[in-house]
Structure 1
Amino acid sequence: MSQMQPGEEVWTTVVGTIRKGMNVIAPDGSSIGLVAGVHGGEVLFEGGDSIPLTLVDGVGEEGVLLQRRGDETFGLGAQP
């Protein structure tokens, strides 16, 4: 894991540590933008768009990974 650089903007969230400039990666692997910040439960993109943190599956070295939506298990809950 990379070390935090002096002056680097980072936000510790329930999904992981998000850094300014990270790629936001859709479930198909495409980049949908770069992180400008995190505020009020939203990931803010450079250019003004945002997504709720609830759509983030995790944070890795490659970027902020969005979870799949509309798959066969979405909304079913955990099995006992």
Structure 2
Amino acid sequence: MSTDAETSWHTGSGFVRKGMTVIDSNGAVLGVVDRVEGQEVLLAEPGHPFVTVSEIDGIDGDRILLAPRGDATFGLGAEP
């Protein structure tokens, strides 16, 4: 699901682009987008290696806003 030579990916929330800033529900910056693989948005910055596409609450310009969650699962991946 990528376009623009692997720098833009279509998700259910809109287009995710390389270099976008990922912001958690408390307003803290988690990192910047490196790429999308499957349902994971991989981050270029250390700390949180990725967030899942299902965590995206919205896209505002060059920012990805994450939905508030009741658990701390950022970067842990889904369990079967």
Relative to the length of structure 1, the TM-score reads: 0.71
Matched ranges for 1:48-63 at <5 A: 49-63=49-63
CA displacement at 1:59 relative to structure 2: 1.0
2:20 maps to: 22
In structure 1, runs of 5+ residues without a counterpart are 1-5, 71-80
2:10 is matched with which residue?
Answer: 12
Paired residue for 2:67? 67
How many residues matched? 65
Normalising by structure 2, what TM-score?
Answer: 0.71
Shift of 1:30: 1.4
**Aligned counterpart, 1:39:** 37
Counterpart of 1:3 in structure 2 is none
Counterparts of 2:52 and 2:17, CA distance in 1: 16
CA distance in 2, matches of 1:64, 1:21: 10
Higher-Rg member (1/2): 1
* Cα RMSD after superposing both structures: 1.9
